[in-house]
Amino acid sequence: MMLKQALSPVIDLVYPPRCPACGTAIAAHGALCQDCWSGLVIPGEPACAACQRPFGHDEMPDGSVCAPCLASPPLHDGVSAATLYTDEARKLVLAFKHGHRIALSGLLARQMLARLPLLEGQWLVVPVPLHRWRLWRRGFNQSALLAGEIARAMGHELLVDGLVRVKATPSLGELGRKQRAEVLKGAIAVNPKRAAKVKGAQVLLVDDVMTSGATTTACLKVLRKAGAAKVRIACFSRVLDEAL
């Protein structure tokens, strides 16, 4: 830490700190400019007691559950999202995932940690997996980087290979909810080598962006089938257009 502090002025001189979202000059590395910070939307209260979806008004009693959760009770034990998916959040995610700015993992994970409740007892921190071909092309699993930061900060065990993608799937970006669910059938499994650890465990499932929930639902189903006692979802950004 002392060496890092000593070298910091030199690093700043050679690589002047800039906002990772827009490129504006800033005071220090690992931060955002004021405009980009103000463009991030943090999910607020009141929110659904089951999935933490913001209701958008202030007159809901404690314990209220949103219509989607009433229609189909979730398999998870709560969702903690650092931000809602705005243009600024999208820029950060794209810079991290497709711009190979892996140093952003610390910044994004800190925002996620700020939204997580106290997790009592021992938890396994498990990232949403990438298929080996996509991992080979990209060079890293962004969810695994976030999971590692969170596990270290909270003192819980990282199980980076707890889940595996056993089937390659196309990009889900242009697909609807039902199409996504169909594509993901049988695509994700609990790693047989880690099944004993998952059984009876409390699992924190980590992803960068939660869009329709199809990917996390596929993960939840196999984790529950493997005997996980609790599964909570943590993501940096969540797509909830109706909450913006």
DSSP run (H or E) holding 39: helix 34-39
Q: Cβ neighbours of residue 193 under 8 Å, at least 6 residues apart?
A: 161
Radius of gyration of the chain (CA): 19
Residue whose token pair is 């700043």: 12
Given a contact cutoff of 8 angstroms between Cβ atoms, the answer to whether 62 and 22 are in contact is: no
What pTM did the predictor assign?
A: 0.88
* b/e sequence 17-50, b meaning 16+ C-beta within 10 Å: bebbbeeeebeebeebbeebeebbbebeebbbbb
pLDDT in tens, 21-38: 777 887 666 678 888 888
Please, which pLDDT band fits residue 183 given cuts at 50, 70 and 90? confident
pLDDT in tens, 137-159: 899 999 999 999 999 999 999 99
Q: Does residue 165 surpass a pLDDT of 90?
A: yes
Cα(131)–Cα(70) distance, integer angstroms: 33
Cα(209)–Cα(186) distance, integer angstroms: 21
For the domain spanning 74-243, the CATH number is: 3.40.50.2020
Classified as helix, coil or strand, 7 is helix
Nearest residue to 236 (alpha-carbon basis) of 146, 139, 128? 146
Cα(108)–Cα(110) distance, integer angstroms: 5
